[in-house]
Chains A and B, each alone.
Chain A
Amino acid sequence: MGSSMQLKRLICPPAPVVIDVEGLSKWYGPYQVLHGIDLRVVQGERIVLCGTSGSGKSTLIRCLNRLEPAQQGRIQVLGADVSASPTHCRAALREVGMVFQGFNLFPHLTVLQNCVLAPVAVRGMPRDSAQDQAMALLKKVGIDQHWKKYPSQLSGGQQQRVAIARALCMAPKIMLFDEPTSALDPEAVGEVLDVMVMLAESGMTLLCVTHEMGFARQVAGRVLFLDGGRIIEDQPPEAFFTAPQTPRAQAFLAQVLG
């Protein structure tokens, strides 16, 4: 496996950098959440961000698609400067999908309508092809039989799978996950993680904030450990889980892995 990866790297040109963050800092009032974050992500990379609550991991990925304004530093996503004016990066940010902890489905729309809204309104896709595409993706996440239902009529795990399908309907190049399984009961966690693993295996560039260490071990190419608004570890999962270098990460792993 390792040698074939090396061989691949020798033959193929390096994958393009899709996310480039330099010196990103952010404050909530007087409290500094991010301290000069530097991060480069190349296409197809699968990154898991972890850390204790308040370490800035969610804020970091929310800065990537402008849900939070960056106050200092530079963020480039797919070549567009996200820290500049919103009109400047709108086209690039269409290629970034996001899945939230609280699903955030639109409650007044059915499953299918949730999935069709953005492709029709943003990409100008004809309604029937948007519906066909949505049904195909709903099938992929195993929820196509519920297409007529409203979000409140689904379980948490089902809602989150719909949310993933909804994001995929925009055919994004990058997917951001902000603690996608934290609001789910233990049984539902598995069904959502299965979908995410499938997505990871399809070659999607993926950044995921999660406490699911099993998932990190299985799919991550890199694990970033944040503490106090800094990335203090950036390692492949084997190294991170077996030999964390900082005492903070050691303590965190001892806690999480129990």
Chain B
Amino acid sequence: MTAGERFAEWFGLELFQRYGAQLLDGLLLTLQLVALSSSVGMVLGVLLALGRTSRWRSLQYGCRAYVYFFRGSPLLAQLFLIYYGLGSFHGFWRDLGLWGWFGDPWFCALLAFTLNTAAYQAEIFRGGLLSVPRAHYEAATALGLNRTTTFFKVTMPQVLIVTVGPLGNELILIIKASAIVSLVTLLDLMGVAKLAFSRTFDFQVYVWVALVYLLVVECVRRGVNRLDRRLTQHLRPTDE
């Protein structure tokens, strides 16, 4: 064995030759799932947070129950509940013409992740909403701003400033948690790794995949830091 071959074996380079393209596809699937579920979950999370802070009691309790359930049970259980549990009513879904969705592991995973992250993000946003001082709402009222303008121009920018850090954490958690979708037959990054391992019994594939997750998380961390710095520029003294 030449030195080059030894090196290639040691670093599992032939793994890349055989599974590289699939691993890339898996990574793309992971990123798609995370991006879609986080952004839809963000909209849902804001609505849930508004519900939790609203004056309307029944809405408050409804949103609280939602958050209570989705934060209080394992994400894996929620995924199985949707994929196997709701999937078992295939007659019903077929009648509604929705079997194409609920029979599809990709859609079920997306649904589970969206519903789950929405609950966590709702709690983050609720904290953000409560941090905006009443005085700012009074100033907005005194200026004649209506509720929509106040929400988008006064409330939300301030909420985003305090929530960008926690939201970044939640995004990182979701990226890592997304590995469990491999359990419902999806070939995400982890799914491809499992497949490759089952065929080659070369554990290095897990090392490489872990490094890819690490890299993705590092990119997110940097992005969030940069965003945070941009959003909080008003808190720093000027250089003028």
> Taking beta carbons and an 8 Å cutoff, which residues of A are in contact with B?
65-67, 90, 93-94, 96-98, 100, 102, 104-108, 110, 117-118, 121-122, 148-153, 166-167, 170
- Given the complex of chains A and B, what is the CA–CA distance between A118 and B141 in angstroms? 10
B142 at the interface (CB under 8 A from A): yes
User: Are A106 and B138 closer than 8 Å at their CB atoms?
Assistant: no
Q: Write out, one digit per residue, whether chain B residues 228-240 have a CB within 8 A of any chain A CB (1) or not (0).
A: 0001011101101
A110–B136 alpha-carbon span in the complex (Å): 15
Main secondary structure on A side of the interface with B: loop
Q: Is the CB of A108 within 8 A of B161?
A: yes
B238 partner, pick from A94, A97, A106, A149, beta carbons under 8 A: A149
A121-B149 Cα distance, complex, nearest whole Å:
7
Q: A100 to B234, Cβ gap below 8 A?
A: no
Residues of B within 8 Å of A121, CB to CB, are 145-146, 149, 153
Is A118's CB under 8 angstroms from B143's CB? yes
B135: CB under 8 A from chain A? yes
A150 to B240, CA, bound (A): 12
Specify which of A110, A149, A167 is in contact with B143 (CB 8 Å cutoff).
A167
In the assembled complex, the CB of B192 is this many whole angstroms from the nearest CB of chain A, namely 43
Instruction: Report the Cα distance A65→B146, complex, angstroms.
Output: 14
Q: Which residues of B contact A102 (CB under 8 A)?
A: 135
Task: Classify chain B's interface size.
Answer: 20 to 34
Q: Which residues, 107 to 164 on B, are CB-close (under 8 Å) to A?
A: 135-136, 138-139, 141-146, 149, 153-154, 157-158, 161
The answer on a CB contact under 8 Å between A153 and B237 is yes
Contacts of B139 in A (CB 8 A): 98, 100, 104-106
Q: Contacts A117-B153, A121-B153; is A153 near B238 (CB within 8 Å)? A: yes
B residues in contact with A67, CB < 8 Å: 138, 141-142
Chain A: which residue is nearest B141 at the CB level?
A67
B207-240 CB mask vs A (1 if < 8 Å, else 0) is 0000000000000000000000001011101101
Residue pair B234, A104 in contact (C-beta under 8 Å) = no
5 cross-chain CB contacts under 8 A: A102-B135, A104-B136, A105-B139, A117-B143, A118-B144
